Chain A
Amino acid sequence: MDWEDLALMEVFLYVALCFIVLALCLFYRLFKGPTAVDRAASADSIDILTDGALILFALYSGRGIYLDIALVTALLGFIGSVIVARYVEGKL
């Protein structure tokens, strides 16, 4: 089996699909989760798994523009989870 032939195209797409399926599984915790902290943590994790899929798609298509989108998404997810945490703590 030649690894270099298998290289370029398909594997990244399949792994990105795995990440998307994992993110969809986390929606269970987002809707059900008993406390607000569970919901915030699962939303942050969904954000980061989406970033992983986006990075893999950028590698698949060879365009760097998707990495900018991933950077903006990571920034917004971090700010959102910190603000939710401060609000739940009662110091906002």
Chain B
Amino acid sequence: MMIAIYILIGISVFFAFAGVTGMIRMPDVLSRLQSSTNITTLGILGVIVGGILYSIFYLKDSAMAIKLGVLGGFYLLTGPISGHALGRAAYASKAVGPEDLNCDQLKEDLEDD
């Protein structure tokens, strides 16, 4: 069981490292937002699932497992929402120009309203 926890935490560290590298080195605003999504979903979820397994099988503390489950559900719920809001803000503040995009369907949707 301990090996499974180590593997989950290792996956989490790998994805957090990949996300940080992408956020520092990507050339574009939307690419950097995509890399930050890498951190906020898989980078933290491995730690949370490993922590649930550890707190059930080793610490024998179910309150910690429940709190970790609430935290994981919260991250899964709020990551896409904040990413969506930040993407719309990047479009509206002209940080993403027409030269960065292949097709611009948000503009058509905004003109329909």
**A3/B13 contact (C-beta < 8 A), A35-B95, A85-B82 known:** no
Total count of chain A residues near the partner, CB < 8 A: 50
Given contact pairs A37-B95, A48-B75, A85-B86, A58 touches B29 in the complex (Cβ within 8 A): no
Chain B CB count within 10 A is highest, among A4, A41, A78, for A41
With contact pairs A37-B29, A37-B86 given, residues A56 and B47 touching in the complex (Cβ less than 8 Å): yes
CA distance A82 to B80 in the complex (A): 11
Near B by CB (< 8 A), chain A positions 9-63 give 11-12, 15, 18-19, 22, 25-26, 28-29, 34-38, 40-42, 44-45, 48-49, 51-52, 55-56, 58-59, 62
If the complex has contacts A29-B24, A85-B82, A88-B93, are A74 and B71 also in contact, measured as CB distance less than 8 A? yes
Complex Cα–Cα for A62 and B59 (A): 7
Q: Do B93 and A41 have beta carbons less than 8 Å apart?
A: no
Is B44 in contact with A48, judged by CB distance below 8 angstroms? yes
Kindly list chain B residues whose C-beta atoms are within 8 Å of the C-beta of A74: 71, 74-75, 78
Contact status A37-B68, CB under 8 Å: no
Contact with A along B51-73 (1 / 0, CB 8 A): 10011001101011001101100
| Residues A82 and B81 in contact, CB atoms below 8 Å apart | yes
Please, how many angstroms separate the alpha-carbon atoms of A74 and B74 in the complex?
8
Establish whether residues B71 and A70, one from each chain, have CB atoms under 8 Å apart when the complex forms. yes
Return 13 A-B CB contacts under 8 Å, by A number: A3-B2, A8-B58, A11-B6, A29-B23, A38-B29, A45-B36, A51-B44, A52-B44, A52-B47, A55-B47, A56-B9, A82-B85, A89-B92
6 more A-B residue pairs beyond the given contacts A26-B20, A36-B93, with a C-beta to C-beta distance below 8 A: A25-B20, A25-B24, A41-B23, A48-B39, A64-B67, A81-B82
